[in-house]
Amino acid sequence: MRHLSVGIVVLGVLLGSVLVLAQQQNPAPPPAPPPAAAQGQEKAQQSGTTFHIPVNLVDVLFTVLDRRNKLVPTLEKEDFKVLDDNIPQDIRYFSKQSDLPLRIAMLLDTSNSIRDRLKFEQDAANNFLFSVLRPRKDEAFLMTFDDEPQVIEGFTNDTGALRDRILSTRAGGGTAVYDAIYVACQNELSHPPRPPGDQPDIVRRVMILISDGEDNLSTHTRTEAIEMAQRTSVVIYSISTSTQWVSLDDPNKEQSGNRKYHLTEGDEILKSLAEETGGRAFFPYHVDDLDQSFQDISEELRNQYSLAYNPMNHAFDGRYHRIRVETPEHKGFQVRARRGYYARAGRDTAVQPAGTVK
């Protein structure tokens, strides 16, 4: 019996040695890297203690156009260079994103200042939705704003319901453009409806802003509105309702193919909102002028690139950082992307506004 006990002990020691040797030769695979997330945090466990590791990835969605303003969807990671405050960065993640579901915010200015152009707004909004919105894949919601923003139709893919609500809008009151952008991004576009089925939870967030750009009632600033759009990865496409640039003294101007001879102050604001978020601004006179523009927007939104990087020059100071994405080997190409982001002011605090975007 004693010999049997000794044999069992020896056998146990030998088995333990084999297991240790196997673990040394076949170590467990390292944990997968965390998903890209702008200005986030990662939690880790060690010896029963939880600690925080800052995950400071900056995500950038962008579109590339050639000299003829045609989309370029065939580039690879090596074709791009990204600069953060003019400092080159290492691209950590890169992908081509095509045909993603769209989540669209349609913002209509219904203030008194656009009363004479309300029919134009309604037609432009309906034309866009019927041109771009795909049944069972894309969804949109409708927000009007005068003294304050109001969602009058929630997320839906029913273009008929959206059309009816658009046609029922009436004009009157002041203008709160910045509040509308801020609220739409914070309350609606920050958590849009997920795609149906087992598809990945990835959607493209888009805002169509139709307004004259004049703001006289917002409690939020333009800087705050742009910052909220950037934080929620919302691309703004703005459509001006202004016709102040039309000269009745020159009847040939209305027939001109390029009618915009100068931008009003409101137009400049609309342009800034679009360019800071990676979108475009349009200055049409007739609704028909927008037909090709809507087709271009639709194609752009479904053929974009995405990259993410860890800023080497990052500091938790709440400061605004300028982003520039370049194609060094393709000098004639133009990259359309958001122009910057606000660094987190502290590891556990919200992003704070820094400076004024002009």
Q: What percent of the chain has pLDDT over 70?
A: 75
Ranking 1-15, 145-159, 291-305 by mean pLDDT, the lowest is 1-15
- Name 95's bridge partners: 306
* CATH code of the domain occupying 102-301: 3.40.50.410
Q: Is the pLDDT of residue 37 over 80?
A: no
Which amino acid would we find at residue 274?
Answer: A
- How does the average pLDDT of the chain come out, rounded? 82
Instruction: Give the pLDDT confidence of 214-245 residue by residue, as tens digits.
Output: 999 999 999 999 999 999 999 999 999 998 86
Asked if the model's pLDDT at residue 358 lies above 90, the reply is no
Of 41-45, 118-122, 157-161, 350-354, where does mean pLDDT reach its minimum? Answer: 350-354
Could you tell me which residues come within 8 angstroms of residue 235 by beta carbon, excluding any fewer than 6 positions away?
61, 204, 205, 206, 207, 277, 278, 279, 301, 338
Q: Is residue 149 predicted with pLDDT exceeding 90?
A: yes
- The domain spans of the chain are 40-96+317-342, 102-301
With 70 as the cut, is the pLDDT of residue 57 above it? yes
> pLDDT per residue over 296-352, tens digit each?
899 999 899 999 999 987 777 778 999 999 999 999 999 999 999 988 665 443 333
- Cβ partners under 8 Å of residue 236, min gap 6: 181, 207, 209, 229, 273, 274, 277, 279
Cα(143)–Cα(153) distance, integer angstroms: 7
Instruction: Judge contact between 323 and 60, C-beta under 8 A.
Output: yes
Strand-pairing partners, residue 71, are 65
How many Cα atoms sit within 13 Å of 202 on the Cβ side? 14
The gap from C-alpha 168 to its chain's centroid, in whole angstroms, comes to: 29
Per-residue confidence at 256, pLDDT binned at 50, 70, 90? Answer: very low
Res 4 pLDDT > 80: no
Q: How confident is the model at residue 206 (pLDDT cuts 50, 70, 90)?
A: very high
Q: How far apart are CA 89 and CA 81, in angstroms?
A: 8
User: pLDDT at residue 51 above 50?
Assistant: no
Between CA 109 and CA 55 the distance in angstroms is: 38
pTM for the predicted model, two decimal places:
0.79
Helix 118-132 to helix 159-167 angle (10° resolution) is: 180
